[in-house]
Amino acid sequence: MQNKVNPGLTELDELCIQTIRFLSMDGVQKAKSGHPGMPMGMAPATYVLWTKYLRYNPANPKWLGRDRFVLSAGHGSMLLYSLLYLTGYDLSLDDLKNFRQWKSKTPGHPEFGHTPGVEATTGPLGQGISNAVGMAIAQKYLAAYFNRDNSNIFDYNIYVVASDGDLQEGVSSEACSLAGHLGLDRLIVIYDDNHISIDGNTSLSFTEDRAKRFEAYNWYVQVVGGDGNDMISFEKALKNAIAEKTRPSIINLRTHIGYGSPNFQDTHKAHGAPLGEDEVKLIKKNFGWDPEKTFQVPEKVLESMRKAKIKGAELEKQWNEKFQSYTKKYSELSKLITDAQAGRFGVDIEKLLPKFGPEPMATRQASGKTLDALMPSLPLVLGGSADLTPSNNTRFKDVEDFQKDKPTGRYIRYGVREHAMAAIMNGIAAGGLLRPYGGTFFCFSDYMRPAIRMAAMSGYRTIFVFTHDSIGLGEDGPTHQPIEHTAALRTIPNLLIIRPADANETAYAWKFALEYKAGPVALLLTRQSIPTLDRSKYPPASNIEKGAYILVKQEKPDIIIMATGSEVPIALEGAEKLAAENIKAQVVNMPSWELFEAQDKTYRDSVLPPNVKARVAIEAGVELGWSKYLGDKGVFLGIKGFGVSAPYKVCYEKFGLTPDAVADAAKKSIQDK
Ligand SMILES: Cc1ncc(C[n+]2csc(CCOP(=O)(O)OP(=O)(O)O)c2C)c(N)n1
Ligand SMILES: [Mg+2]
């Protein structure tokens, strides 16, 4: 008989916990898909956390003072949805019944910005726990920057539920290693140590001592044995974790997947499929519930759990009072917070932008100088790099490093942890007040892709700084020369990519990236020096915000030459060669396809007149995607295989990315049209 009262719980608590379990089971059963096992095992611990410790206000999921809760094991989404519903967020029982249905509020995995109370999009294992590291960095910075006297405006914890898969994924090792180094004591991970993953028992592939591993990361590790129901032991561990002031915490909580299921508990069959109607009925019967009823929420359960609304309103009220007196005393700091909430920086970025020219300059260098100019006025932007600071030019003048003993530092040393850097930045961005940027070599965007995708999907305002953006990096050779990367990033929906053509465009790219609200931005920057365009001859660099614009205009073009980034000057020289032969080339700079495609048709047609079929595009990468602009008669100049280790000028020459090649390709296209 499962129907007992476990240590640390009352009968009513047990009823609440059972309700969470059954809602999760019923949701999955009705959808005919989903993951019931994890919610069944983790119901007691999360119930205790949500009713006794977590500080939140269901009526205002964005309340700045709230604790954060991240369900890193996103497959257990019904657990989170049940908690959100029961505690009184804007989620109804019908929403739970619509689990996994078209555009319901309860999608298969939690989606940020879609369901109130969901702090991060999770599902791809390892991301959520790494986002949470970012949230904990954000908390530390915000507290250090804003908290005054005993006002403690930013005084919250970040709680995570993570599973075996979360701990197995490499990204969590990267992120948790950094979290330990930084001593992020507000981060508390509850590890659902249920010994089961999809293939079966974790003994198949996951036998390291997790406790020792996290100890080695310098985390505070507590192991709670039993069966996931002993809440006296769990609460003791939780209290210790909350009291810990120097290290992040992990509580290894031994649980049982599919707890209470006579046939599936402790088996991988409980993980990711409905238990079946018969089994669901059997479980309910064993717990003394009516087996025929689904989505049952006893009156007293709702009454008890909805107290979260009263408690939450009171907590927020107290915080608001604190914030009001804070505002009286520190009006400028307070304004910074409210501005940031509204997405404003409170300064005119354009005015701060440096002006470059006439000397040539690598766009990474221009980026560094732009950061030098902007960042002192933007205290809520946090920079960093994955151990390529001197190459990425991401560290701005006089900035201090963010470290355990220096939480006011604004520069994060991510170490050689690209994937975690991206996921951590997403966590920093998810809070809404801070804007993160972080650099690495463009070819290592492959190491970050899963997190870039999450940023794009969730609309996190993360800025990815990718330098060494082509064969133009030269001698490091094919392992470091990005070839397919621009095309690969362009396939990600809602990711804005900007590849500026010179120093001044780089400055504007930063302005645009910082002010952009819809999602992440990737800046592609050169290692090599490139000409700074003479803007008395060409339209202003601010045109970058249109995504593409004409550098050399022709009334009746014979050909359109399109280029991005460091290939723009080559296109311009090619056009000059053509001009000497009386061939009129319209040169179009296309720093951002995504922005260009967002322009109206009239503008797009003015830049790329549809009647001009002769076209050339030059970009030091693969052709994929260019055909939409090139049409049938266009010629692409790029790279087919991988790069070569050689000085960059030799690379450009040998790969045929030269003004002569542009002119030849143009003539060919004119002939073919
Ligand atoms: C990156 C990633 N790879 C694979 C999956 C598919 N998947 C979902 S859950 C899971 C593992 C399940 O084991 P565990 O994390 O221990 O969760 P539990 O079964 O205990 O709930 C896998 C491989 C995923 N969601 N994310
Ligand atoms: Mg597991």
| pLDDT averages per 10-residue partition of the chain, 673 residues | 83 98 98 97 98 98 98 98 98 98 98 98 98 98 94 95 98 98 98 97 98 98 96 98 98 98 96 95 96 98 98 98 96 96 94 97 98 98 98 98 98 98 98 97 98 98 98 97 98 98 98 97 98 98 98 98 98 98 98 98 98 98 98 96 98 98 98 86
Contacts of 309 (CB under 8 A, 6+ apart): 57, 58, 59, 87, 88
| Distance (Å, whole) CA 462 – CA 520 | 5
Residue nearest to atom 18 of ligand 1 (CA): 197
Q: Check pocket membership of 134 for ligand 1, CB cut-off 6 A.
A: no
* Pairing label, strands 529-530, 521-524: unpaired
Q: Check pocket membership of 65 for ligand 1, CB cut-off 6 A.
A: no
Q: Check pocket membership of 257 for ligand 1, CB cut-off 6 A.
A: yes
Is residue 382 within 8 Å of residue 394, measured between CB atoms? no
Cα 136 to middle of ligand 2, angstroms: 24
Cα 159 to middle of ligand 1, angstroms: 19
Residue nearest to atom 12 of ligand 1 (CA): 197
Q: Check pocket membership of 38 for ligand 1, CB cut-off 6 A.
A: yes
Which of the ligands is closest to the CA of residue 128?
1
Kindly give the number of the ligand 1 atom that is closest to the alpha carbon of 126. Answer: 1
Q: Which of 156, 179, 168 is nearest to 69 (CA)?
A: 156
Is residue 417 within 8 Å of residue 178, measured between CB atoms? yes
Kindly give the number of the ligand 1 atom that is closest to the alpha carbon of 35. Answer: 21
Using CB atoms within 10 Å of the CB of residue 657, give its burial: 0 to 12 exposed, 13 to 18 middle, 19+ buried.
Answer: buried
Q: Check pocket membership of 198 for ligand 1, CB cut-off 6 A.
A: yes
Q: Check pocket membership of 127 for ligand 1, CB cut-off 6 A.
A: no
CA angle 348, 350, 353 (to 5 degrees): 120
Residue nearest to atom 9 of ligand 1 (CA): 75
Q: Check pocket membership of 164 for ligand 1, CB cut-off 6 A.
A: yes
| Distance (Å, whole) CA 415 – CA 310 | 44
Cα 293 to middle of ligand 2, angstroms: 29
Q: Check pocket membership of 194 for ligand 1, CB cut-off 6 A.
A: yes
Tell me the CB-side half-sphere exposure of residue 111, using CA atoms within 13 A.
16
Kindly give the number of the ligand 1 atom that is closest to the alpha carbon of 197. Answer: 13
pLDDT for res 1: 44
486: enclosing H helix or E strand: helix 485-490
Q: Check pocket membership of 30 for ligand 1, CB cut-off 6 A.
A: no
Kindly give the number of the ligand 1 atom that is closest to the alpha carbon of 123. Answer: 25
pLDDT for res 416: 98
Two tokens, residue 160: 């995570």
Using CB atoms within 10 Å of the CB of residue 668, give its burial: 0 to 12 exposed, 13 to 18 middle, 19+ buried.
Answer: middle
Task: Supply the DSSP string of 335-348, one letter for each residue.
Answer: HHHHHHHTT--SS-
Cα 161 to middle of ligand 2, angstroms: 11
Decide: helix, strand or coil at residue 466. strand
Using CB atoms within 10 Å of the CB of residue 324, give its burial: 0 to 12 exposed, 13 to 18 middle, 19+ buried.
Answer: exposed
DSSP character at residue 401: B
DSSP character at residue 110: -
Of the candidates 111, 316, 418, 505, the residue annotated as catalytic is: 418
- Between the alpha carbon of residue 319 and those of residues 48, 348, 359, the distances in Å are 23, 31, 53
- Between the alpha carbon of residue 672 and those of residues 98, 579, 663, the distances in Å are 56, 19, 14
Residue nearest to atom 19 of ligand 1 (CA): 197
Kindly give the number of the ligand 1 atom that is closest to the alpha carbon of 271. Answer: 19
Q: Check pocket membership of 161 for ligand 1, CB cut-off 6 A.
A: no
Q: Check pocket membership of 269 for ligand 1, CB cut-off 6 A.
A: no
Residue nearest to atom 15 of ligand 1 (CA): 165
Cα 172 to middle of ligand 1, angstroms: 14
| Distance (Å, whole) CA 481 – CA 374 | 30
| Distance (Å, whole) CA 651 – CA 638 | 12
Cα 129 to middle of ligand 1, angstroms: 13
Cα 618 to middle of ligand 1, angstroms: 43
The CB density around residue 8, as the number of other CB atoms within 10 Å, is 16
What type of residue is 250?
I
Identify whether 358 is preceded by a cis peptide bond (ω within 30 of 0).
Answer: yes
Is residue 518 within 8 Å of residue 460, measured between CB atoms? no
pLDDT for res 672: 87
Residue 484 is a catalytic residue: no
Cross-strand bridge partners of residue 222: 251
Q: Check pocket membership of 193 for ligand 1, CB cut-off 6 A.
A: no
Is residue 297 within 8 Å of residue 17, measured between CB atoms? no
Kindly give the number of the ligand 1 atom that is closest to the alpha carbon of 74. Answer: 25
Q: Check pocket membership of 163 for ligand 1, CB cut-off 6 A.
A: yes
pLDDT for res 2: 58
If one residue of 198, 255, 261 were mutated to test the ligand 1 pocket, choosing by the most ligand atoms within 8 A of its CB, it would be: 198
If one residue of 197, 253, 254, 261 were mutated to test the ligand 1 pocket, choosing by the most ligand atoms within 8 A of its CB, it would be: 197
Contacts of 212 (CB under 8 A, 6+ apart): none
Which of the ligands is closest to the CA of residue 125?
1
Which of the ligands is closest to the CA of residue 198?
1
Cα 165 to middle of ligand 1, angstroms: 5
Cα 203 to middle of ligand 2, angstroms: 11
Which of the ligands is closest to the CA of residue 270?
1
Cα 168 to middle of ligand 2, angstroms: 10
Is residue 227 within 8 Å of residue 256, measured between CB atoms? yes
Q: Check pocket membership of 231 for ligand 1, CB cut-off 6 A.
A: no
Cα 525 to middle of ligand 2, angstroms: 42
Q: Check pocket membership of 37 for ligand 1, CB cut-off 6 A.
A: yes
